[in-house]
Structure 1
């Protein structure tokens, strides 16, 4: 196996009961779960409106109420069709409002059995429908967001749905039950040879090939399109194979990525880095307590030369109030 990319030691959660009497039974059995109504539907739709207002603020011609303006050229740059990794997107007030929602925090507190959590500086996904803007140049990218060297339950990712995620809408695909086979897969299929993705940016990332999907399917796993409504929270184990699927409907997929882990897992070195990222309104990885990596500033290639994107922003349009809860979740203040 290739050299480990683990930078700091951390706790391993190996206790995975199956008789909690609540949604945790489903989570540990399947590797994912949908928790209904963690935010009232009307408030979730309000957050979607905030996200669309943010998208309109670039002045490129996009108007949520005029589908003739739903064009790729009317949008700032994003990754995989709608993940906004730049423009201080992760630190807009509405994003922090979502992270501070008690109903969003509570499932993570229950899962980790502590109220003392830190949150990822993850971003918003606003994906316009292919049925209107045309196909996206992105095939399925099955992967896990935990490096093979990290055994055990270390990270649980989350999506807060701000729009519907029905069978025909864009949404999350998971390989149901694959998280339990994580160690077995890599014991049988050790990482060898050229691994160009194994960089500082992607050290907790592993992509899969078609033959790997068949390996999991042969052991009883199945691909599931996760359906959810505005205000629902999707949780999945970072060892679970997953990817995003573009929809065929005319709905604008709008979600916020949220991940929380125990603050006690974060080293002082990592905390200092997290504070610096927070103060500079940077977007980073799904991991809240380690593996911090800034996506940096947006650039564009003009005449073969990489230059700063003129749309880039050094701070959010609307800053969040720095409450005690926010600062503790951000890692700025200690519990």
Structure 2
């Protein structure tokens, strides 16, 4: 049975009997990371895997980056140049090249220690996982400044009420004070409904595409609104092998570091498999078989990022580096296929 503080997604009925209560009306004490999560909108779970295992996964991520043959060599910092890397978004998010389905990425998603906190939050271990991307960001101190400014946002549409999505970062590298990492507006998630009641979305919303319906950007005055209510910006610090969880209603963004650490993470979000409609189940199977990278959402809002594109003579064509399948395909275990939504529980 799911915890009483978790709301069922609408219009999909909850798998739990009875109507689940709102996070705002229940204040139980759990005695674990869930107390931090419900109070602050995020939590850090230490050591979901060993530092040694995290380092092995990071090595596989760097092997993948070297496989494009553009000149990047992890052992030669003189090769750490933007032109020696395949295209990415905001410095190191790889939305293409079948990156979401590399074997090491699926191995991370299937780690029992990664799954367990989500199972505890949702009250079930019958989960589906997002086909989310990886982030391998070379340090600005070596490659130069990235053309990206802070983009405070939340990954849940204002009309979608309650806690229905919890995002995750599995750290394969250090995320200390000077390293690249996650910025959150601590305590903003519980104020989600109040914010949009007082600040309704009006006028043109160019960001509200089908793929990005569960996305809302915030302005500087919005940050002030949250600060006036006691919220504060926090750089979330974590070590290799730690898991960061945050409520999708929480304001957040990624910050570039000033250290020489190569930020290496896997984004992983899990929700109850029972929340997925049959239509979305079929769509998720198709995306899985096509090795597509999707949004943060595991059970709904299933849209691919499509192929990597480049301009040639003024026309957009598929990037010659694009891949139709992973460099190393995952082993299709029963657990993996269940998490992928391909095999029912």
1:17–1:25 contact (8 Å) kept in structure 2: no
Structure-2 separation of matches of 1:72 and 1:207: 27
What is the 5 A alignment of 1:158-197?
158-197=168-207
1:161–1:255 contact (8 Å) kept in structure 2: yes
1:87–1:312 contact (8 Å) kept in structure 2: yes
Which of 14, 22, 26 is the aligned partner of 2:22? 14
Give 3-state SS (helix, strand or coil) of 2:292's partner. Answer: coil
TM-score, with normalisation over the residues of structure 2? 0.94
- Please report how far the alpha carbon of residue 123 of structure 1 lies from its aligned counterpart in structure 2 after TM superposition: 1.0
1:285–1:291 contact (8 Å) kept in structure 2: yes
Please report the RMSD computed on the Cα atoms of aligned residues, expressed in angstroms: 1.2
Cα pair distance change 1:64/1:322, threshold 3 Å? same
Structure-2 separation of matches of 1:289 and 1:90: 16
Which of 226, 229, 237 is the aligned partner of 1:227? 237
- Please report how far the alpha carbon of residue 302 of structure 1 lies from its aligned counterpart in structure 2 after TM superposition: 2.0
Structure-1 separation of matches of 2:21 and 2:51: 33
**Number of matched pairs:** 330
- Where in structure 1 are there 5+ consecutive unaligned residues? 1-5
1:37–1:231 contact (8 Å) kept in structure 2: yes
1:91–1:281 contact (8 Å) kept in structure 2: yes
Which of 23, 26, 46 is the aligned partner of 2:33? 23
Cα pair distance change 1:17/1:324, threshold 3 Å? farther
Structure-1 separation of matches of 2:32 and 2:341: 30
- Please report how far the alpha carbon of residue 303 of structure 1 lies from its aligned counterpart in structure 2 after TM superposition: 2.4
2:10–2:160 contact (8 Å) kept in structure 1: no
What is the 5 A alignment of 1:97-136?
97-136=107-146
Once superposed, which parts of structure 1, at least 4 consecutive aligned residues long, lie more than 3 Å away?
6-13, 15-18
2:12–2:276 contact (8 Å) kept in structure 1: no
Structure-2 separation of matches of 1:17 and 1:122: 31
